[in-house]
Amino acid sequence: MIRPSDRVMEIEESPTLAVTARAKEMRARGLDVIGLAAGEPDFDTPENIKKAAQRAIEEGHTKYTAVGGIAELKAAIIGKFKGDNSLTYAPDEILVSSGGKHSFYNLCQAFLNPGDEVIVSAPYWVSYPPMVRLAGGVPVIVPTDESTGFKMTAGAMAERITEKTRAVIINSPSNPTGALYTPGELRAVADAAVKKGLLVISDEIYEKLVYDDGNFVSVASLSGEIKERTIVLNGVSKAYSMTGWRIGYGAGPAELIKAMTKVQSQSTSNPASVSQWAAVEALNGPQGSVGAMRDEFEKRRSVMVKRLNAMEGVSCVMPEGAFYAFPEFGGAIGKKTIDGKAIDGSVALASYLLDEAEVAVVPGIGFGNDSHLRLSYACSVDNIEEGLKRIAEALGRLK
C-alpha cells in the first residue's frame, strides 16, 4: 500500500470539481443530469479570443515563455488595473499563473510558514482552507450569516487575530454567496488588517459579474497604505468564459511577487503560451461580450432565486454578484427519504438530489455551511427551471 503524505491525507479533493465530474460521468452513461454544480460560464469563449490563440499557434508562440508571463500580457494586465481599478502596478508587481487558483496556491507556498494563521470568512470558496493547509498554514474561520449579508465585519475579524495571524482573505463578489462588500465595509476590514500588519488577499475573480447597478471596488484602490499590504488575485476565466485556458494573475508588492514567481519557476514554469496570447486579446480586445454575459447571468439569477424562495423550507438571499446561489435547506435537513435514509446534512441532501432528481449541486459543507447547497446559475434558463422543478418534487417526497 502506497501512503500519500500526511499533508495530502489531511485535505479532501475539491468538491466543486468532484460533483461536476460525477455529473459528467452520469451524463456519459445516458442519464439526463441537470448540472447546477459547475462554477464556470456555459458560454463559448468569444470568437476574437479564439482567433488570437489560433494566430499564436501559427506564429509559433508554442515554446516556454518567461516564467511570470509574457511582457505583452503583463502590459495588458497593468492596463486593466489602471482602467478598471485606478491601480498602478509595474511589471515586477505582476505574476501570471495557470488560473486564479494557481495564483492563490503560489501565494500560500511563497508567504506562509508552518503554523501561520490565515483568516477566512465562511462561507468560503472550497479551496482556500486546503491550499492554506498544504502550505503548513492554519485557516481560522470567521462564520458569517444572512444577518450581515454573509459579509465579515472588521469586529468579527479582529476577534480572531492572534500573534500568529499573517493574512486575511476577502472574496468579493463571493463564491458561494454572491455577497458584494461596499467600499466602506472593505475599508473597515482592510484598515483593521493593515493596522495589525496582515497581508490582505483579495480574490477579485468575479469582479465583472456584479448585478443591480452594484459597483465593484478593489480593496487595493482604497488607500496607498492598503495597496502596499494587498495582493489582488484575478484572472480571465469567469469574465471571458475561459475556464479551460487556465490564466490567472496576482498583483502586489514586488518582493512577494518575486517569491511567488520563484515557486512557479520550480513547479509549473510559465502558464500555457497560447493561453497567454488569448488572454492578451481578452484584456485588450473588444469588451462587449463581458457585459452581454453579465446581463444574461442577471436574468438567470432572478429566475433561480425566485424559484428557490418559493420552495417550502428553503430560503435564499439575493446574490449581488458571481453566478451562484447559496440557499439554506433547513426544511429538508433532518428528514428521511422514502426508503428511510437520513438526510443528516448537505452531503446526504446533494447525493439524494443527484440520485433521485438527477440534479447536480455542491454540498454546502465544503464551503463551511452544512445546511446549505450551492447552485450555479451559469446555465440556461431551461436548465434552471427544470432543475429546480425536480428539486422541489424530490424535496416534497422527503418525510
Residues that bind ligand GLU (CB under 6 A): 14, 16-17, 39, 101, 125-127, 175
DSSP state of 372: B
Round to whole Å and give the CA distance between 373 and 349.
8
Minimum distance, C-beta of residue 284 to ligand GLU, in the bound complex (Å) = 25
Phi, psi (degrees; rounded to nearest 5) at 124: -120, 160
The three-state secondary structure class of 223 is: coil
Q: Which residue is associated with the grid cell 496607498? A: 224
Give whichever of 39 and 319 is closer to ligand GLU, judged by the CB atom.
Answer: 39
Give whichever of 165 and 369 is closer to ligand GLU, judged by the CB atom.
Answer: 369
Minimum distance, C-beta of residue 299 to ligand GLU, in the bound complex (Å) = 21
Give whichever of 203 and 320 is closer to ligand GLU, judged by the CB atom.
Answer: 203
Give whichever of 166 and 238 is closer to ligand GLU, judged by the CB atom.
Answer: 238
Minimum distance, C-beta of residue 15 to ligand GLU, in the bound complex (Å) = 8
Round to whole Å and give the CA distance between 367 and 360.
16
C-alpha distance from residue 115 to each of 59, 136, 159, 165 (Å): 48, 6, 18, 9
Q: Which residue lies nearest ligand GLU, judged by its C-beta?
A: 39
What count of other Cβ atoms lies within 10 Å of the Cβ of residue 96? 28
Burial 193-206 (b: 16+ CB within 10 A, else e): bbeeebbbbbbbbb
Minimum distance, C-beta of residue 367 to ligand GLU, in the bound complex (Å) = 9
Minimum distance, C-beta of residue 246 to ligand GLU, in the bound complex (Å) = 11
* Region at 150 (left for phi over 0; alpha for psi -120 to 50; beta for the rest): left
Minimum distance, C-beta of residue 175 to ligand GLU, in the bound complex (Å) = 5
Round to whole Å and give the CA distance between 107 and 306.
39
C-alpha cell at 208: 465583472
Give whichever of 226 and 359 is closer to ligand GLU, judged by the CB atom.
Answer: 359
Give whichever of 101 and 208 is closer to ligand GLU, judged by the CB atom.
Answer: 101
Give whichever of 277 and 323 is closer to ligand GLU, judged by the CB atom.
Answer: 323
Round to whole Å and give the CA distance between 186 and 180.
10
Give whichever of 12 and 228 is closer to ligand GLU, judged by the CB atom.
Answer: 12
Minimum distance, C-beta of residue 399 to ligand GLU, in the bound complex (Å) = 32
Minimum distance, C-beta of residue 17 to ligand GLU, in the bound complex (Å) = 5
